[in-house]
Amino acid sequence: MIFDFNLIRNVYAGLPRKVQEAKRVLNRPLTLTEKILFSHLSPGIPVKDYLRGGDYVDFAPDRVAMQDATAQMALLQLMNAGRSSVAVPSTVHCDHLIQAYKDARADLQTANVTNREVYEFLREVSDKYGIGFWEPGAGIIHQVVLENYAFPGGMMIGTDSHTPNAGGLGMLAIGVGGADAVDVMAGLPWELKMPRLIGVKLTGRLSGWAAPKDVILKLAGILTVKGGTNAVIEYFGEGTETFSATGKGTICNMGAEVGATTSVFPFDEKSASYLEATGRKEVASLARSIVGHLRPDPEAVASPHDYYDRVIEIDLSTLEPYINGPFTPDAAYPISQFARMVEENDYPRKMEVGLIGSCTNSSYEDLTRAVSVVKQAKEDGVGVNAQFIINPGSEQIRYTAERDGILAEFEEAGAVIMANACGPCIGQWKRDDAGGQRPNSIVTSFNRNFAKRNDGNPNTHAFVASPELVAALTIAGDLRFNPLTDTLENDKGQHVRLAEPSGYETPPGGYDVQEAGYRAPSPDGHNKEIIIDPASKRLQKLAPFPAWDGNDFERLPLLIKVKGKCTTDHISMAGPWLRFRGHLDNISDNMLIGAVNAFNNQTNAVRDPETGEYLAVPQLARKLKSQGLGSVVVAEENYGEGSSREHAAMEPRHLAVKVILVKSFARIHETNLKKQGMLALTFADKDDYDKIREDDKISVRGLNRFVPGVNLTVELLHADGSTDAFEAVHTYNKQQIEWFKAGSALNAMGKKSKV
Ligand code: F3S
């Protein structure tokens, strides 16, 4: 048995009482999010009306999931936490490190050779600490979690920003950095800023070409990439009951694209049938027995404006299919306007590659709806006019789809079936024809489309859409094709229109799998000794970061003033760098190499204050570090949006960056910086960003009186001898200030356990 039924039984045994207690204390009806949060308060933490978006509260999540790229650093940190086994059920999933090139079989073989050392490390450490291990090829973390571990009313954290995918089954699932995962695996309370609540009321029913993906694509356009920051998006209304649990997973998954803490759907009969179809009948019937606690209270949804901080209504019956992009997931266009937008912006019209997969859209239902489009095109004599790539979400989906003839249909249409892994979604795509900087267009069923994310080419215009729309555009080979209104020419010269897609929410013949790829920890695993070769290029033992020396930061040189978007992809690029995720020193050579320098509009070219020469960002940081100087990074809005990767926080820390000063932070990244002992500050007045000059020396004053809620002072000494001073805001609470002083949260944890 892969899932731990006892865990769920225990959670459900206490949940009704805890929810009732919260309702009694707060004396009001509750939203679903509140029910889950209040039933997961850390022991000793009282129920009260915490300030949403303000108060930090300690929680006790039920599980932890880690993907292979982030698990390396999380487990390296766990090894320093002084535990013999994990305190809550945890799993590792090998999905990010498999490069998509030829096909599933060949790519998996290659991955097992090139990543052997890392897989072995993850396997051994998992075994030692009692962590479940999913082998390479077993599937993408969030699909595997949805199929095996997610349960309504549960709470989990995962070291991946699309962990909220499990919200499709009513679980509050939150993406975090590895250091947070270590806290929970070490049995410590897990701290979260009490989220605001965005209620999304769904009415009506999807029809025709519209898919669950279109709900979130539309919402991304409304909320933008920052609109969900510090908020949980909770869906309610009769429309929620009209589509599948995996469709709900898709919507929750992409809540990460609007910066939401997480997203969640109420438990309903669709959730129950998915639980049953995935071998968890007992969970479905237990959930049914406490259904009132796994849904928002009726009074809350009847007057949503009284219970949610913001309410958005979407009528599914009138929802058009959307295509979002390029370069940002919140550029949302209904299909009826998309062709005009392509022409107006002169985007490359030829649709070159259609990709279906990723944790967002790789379910059995996704594959069946997409293949229905492919099948009828074949029947109508219409060929496929672009390259086609499919990544199934899990081995269970792949095996079942193969059994049901779905993969054969795709292959007949020229599609390549890649491994059950992330692949092109995270730059793990060896695209022979990408042609360096050649402008081109691709459409994916993925979630993110930042420049370079898929194939490393900054001029690849990546658009995201539902799998069925990806299939239609791949068949058409033209980005401007609208299957709702346009026709395609068939082999007889006739003009035919593609019929609406259809599919199965779960396989009519049931799911099946021969070898799921799961490896349970062995009973004597704790005796294992973990050896890391000091000469390894992929893995490096972590040395604790130095503690704060007790002084203000004085006259630090500016490392880079970043202009515009700076995601964690810009700070710590993925693709080829994924192989160094377990080696902090080596991966630090990618630090901020994708960020644009505000002074010369170039990437990876910053001025050495000593010589005036332009150096690569990591090169200058290493030089300043070797001189014992440290440095400062300045940036604009939503710094660190995107993936939860903590390397984006650890690399600057390792290369002696002392302060990150920005107009605003993305939530996960700000916490990651704090965990690593960095000083993360925001401009009190955003216009002060303009005062920073290339040759400034920057001081931060007030650290000796570093307390919650009191601003710090930044002083600039310009090269001409003039100065500027302004206030910088911080969001550190008492505990986080201790992390800063100790040098990192892990150091602070170590200190506590020594006391
Ligand atoms: Fe993997 Fe892409 Fe999801 S990297 S976990 S498929 S967002």
Q: Please identify which residue in the block is written with the tokens 């996960």.
A: 668
Lowest mean pLDDT among 304-308, 413-417, 628-632, 666-670: 666-670
Mean pLDDT calculated for residue range 389-406: 98
Q: Please tell me the predicted confidence (pLDDT) of residue 600.
A: 98
In this predicted model, what pLDDT tens digit does every residue of 138-148 receive, in sequence order? 999 999 999 99
Is the pLDDT confidence value at 135 over 70? Answer: yes
What is the sign, positive or negative, of the torsion defined by CA atoms of 433, 436, 441, 443?
positive
Distance from the first to the final alpha carbon of the chain = 40
- Residue, of 753 and 749, whose pLDDT is higher: 749
H helices present in 501-616, as ranges: 568-571, 584-587
Residue 476 near residue 354 (C-beta atoms within 8 A)? no
Is the pLDDT confidence value at 303 over 60? Answer: yes
Beta-bridge mates of residue 40:
none
- In the residue annotation, 160 being an active-site residue is answered as yes
- Residue, of 217 and 56, whose pLDDT is higher: 217
Is the pLDDT confidence value at 504 over 50? Answer: yes
- Residue 45 in tokens: 């933490």
Q: Please tell me the predicted confidence (pLDDT) of residue 754.
A: 45
Cα separation, 655 vs 622, in Å, equals 6
Residue type, 208: G
Q: How many CA atoms lie within 13 A of 663 on its CB side?
A: 19
- In the residue annotation, 645 being an active-site residue is answered as yes
Give nearest CA residue, ligand 1 atom 3.
359
Burial class (CB in 10 A: 0-12, 13-18, 19+), 621: buried
Q: Please tell me the predicted confidence (pLDDT) of residue 753.
A: 52
Cα of 190 from ligand 1 centre, angstroms: 24
Mutational pocket test of ligand 1: of 95, 144, 577, the residue with most ligand atoms within 8 Å of the beta carbon: 95
Cα of 422 from ligand 1 centre, angstroms: 5
In this predicted model, what pLDDT tens digit does every residue of 641-665 receive, in sequence order? 877 678 999 999 999 999 999 999 9
Is the pLDDT confidence value at 432 over 90? Answer: no
Cα separation, 204 vs 360, in Å, equals 23
Residue type, 539: L
Cα of 112 from ligand 1 centre, angstroms: 19
The number of the ligand 1 atom at minimal distance from the alpha carbon of 643 is 7
**Axis-axis angle for helices 178-185, 745-754 (nearest 10):** 20
Closest among 450, 395, 393 to 426, alpha carbons compared: 450
Mean residue pLDDT of the chain comes to: 95
Cα separation, 723 vs 591, in Å, equals 29
Residue 246 near residue 505 (C-beta atoms within 8 A)? yes
Is the pLDDT confidence value at 553 over 80? Answer: yes
Query: Cβ contacts of residue 310 below 8 Å, gap of 6+?
Result: 196, 197, 198, 199, 231
Give nearest CA residue, ligand 1 atom 2.
425
- In the residue annotation, 346 being an active-site residue is answered as no
Cα of 427 from ligand 1 centre, angstroms: 10
69 pocket-lining for ligand 1 (C-beta < 6 Å): no
Closest among 423, 367, 420, 368 to 396, alpha carbons compared: 420
Q: Please identify which residue in the block is written with the tokens 């007889």.
A: 492
Tell me the three state secondary structure of residue 575. Answer: helix
Q: Please tell me the predicted confidence (pLDDT) of residue 415.
A: 98
- The CB density around residue 112, as the number of other CB atoms within 10 Å, is 15
Mean pLDDT calculated for residue range 463-475: 98
- Out of 68, 107, 160, 297, the active site residue is 160
- In the residue annotation, 96 being an active-site residue is answered as yes
Give nearest CA residue, ligand 1 atom 1.
422
The residue ranges of DSSP E strands in 147-287, in sequence order, are 155-158, 172-175, 190-193, 196-203, 231-236, 262-264
645 pocket-lining for ligand 1 (C-beta < 6 Å): no
Mean pLDDT calculated for residue range 368-385: 97
Element (DSSP H or E) covering residue 367: helix 364-379
Cα of 663 from ligand 1 centre, angstroms: 28
The number of the ligand 1 atom at minimal distance from the alpha carbon of 425 is 2
In this predicted model, what pLDDT tens digit does every residue of 564-582 receive, in sequence order? 999 999 999 987 898 899 9
Mutational pocket test of ligand 1: of 162, 449, 568, 578, the residue with most ligand atoms within 8 Å of the beta carbon: 162
Residue 668 near residue 694 (C-beta atoms within 8 A)? no
Q: Please tell me the predicted confidence (pLDDT) of residue 56.
A: 87
Element (DSSP H or E) covering residue 325: none
Left (φ > 0), alpha (ψ -120 to 50) or beta: where does 230 sit? left
CA angle (129 as vertex; 124, 132 as ends), nearest 5: 75
DSSP assignment of 285-297: HHHHHTGGGGS--
Residue 646 near residue 73 (C-beta atoms within 8 A)? yes
Mean pLDDT calculated for residue range 224-235: 93
Q: Please identify which residue in the block is written with the tokens 């965005």.
A: 198
Q: Please tell me the predicted confidence (pLDDT) of residue 646.
A: 85
426 pocket-lining for ligand 1 (C-beta < 6 Å): yes
Cα of 579 from ligand 1 centre, angstroms: 16
- Out of 93, 96, 581, 730, the active site residue is 96
Give me the phi and psi of 719, to 5 degrees please.
Answer: -65, -25
253 pocket-lining for ligand 1 (C-beta < 6 Å): no
In this predicted model, what pLDDT tens digit does every residue of 86-116 receive, in sequence order? 999 999 999 999 999 999 999 999 999 999 9
In this predicted model, what pLDDT tens digit does every residue of 707-745 receive, in sequence order? 999 999 999 999 999 999 999 999 999 999 999 999 998
Q: Please tell me the predicted confidence (pLDDT) of residue 124.
A: 97
422 pocket-lining for ligand 1 (C-beta < 6 Å): yes
Cα of 213 from ligand 1 centre, angstroms: 15
Is the pLDDT confidence value at 223 over 60? Answer: yes
Mutational pocket test of ligand 1: of 98, 160, 450, the residue with most ligand atoms within 8 Å of the beta carbon: 160
For residue 493, name the pLDDT band (cuts at 50, 70, 90): very high
Cα of 163 from ligand 1 centre, angstroms: 10
For residue 751, name the pLDDT band (cuts at 50, 70, 90): low
Q: Please tell me the predicted confidence (pLDDT) of residue 1.
A: 62
- Residue 101 in tokens: 């090139």
Mean pLDDT calculated for residue range 678-682: 98
Query: Cβ contacts of residue 441 below 8 Å, gap of 6+?
Result: 326, 347, 348, 349, 350, 351, 352, 460, 461, 462, 463, 479
Closest among 571, 613, 606 to 590, alpha carbons compared: 571
H helices present in 27-100, as ranges: 32-38, 68-78
- Out of 645, 653, 654, 730, the active site residue is 645
Cα of 5 from ligand 1 centre, angstroms: 27
CA angle (364 as vertex; 358, 365 as ends), nearest 5: 100
Give nearest CA residue, ligand 1 atom 5.
359
In this predicted model, what pLDDT tens digit does every residue of 236-260 receive, in sequence order? 999 999 999 999 999 999 999 999 9
358 pocket-lining for ligand 1 (C-beta < 6 Å): yes
- In the residue annotation, 448 being an active-site residue is answered as yes
Mean pLDDT calculated for residue range 6-15: 95
- Out of 643, 644, 699, 744, the active site residue is 643
For residue 441, name the pLDDT band (cuts at 50, 70, 90): very high
Q: Please tell me the predicted confidence (pLDDT) of residue 752.
A: 60
- In the residue annotation, 643 being an active-site residue is answered as yes
Is the pLDDT confidence value at 436 over 80? Answer: no
Tell me the three state secondary structure of residue 652. Answer: helix
In this predicted model, what pLDDT tens digit does every residue of 586-626 receive, in sequence order? 999 999 999 999 999 999 999 999 999 999 999 999 999 99
425 pocket-lining for ligand 1 (C-beta < 6 Å): yes
For residue 755, name the pLDDT band (cuts at 50, 70, 90): very low
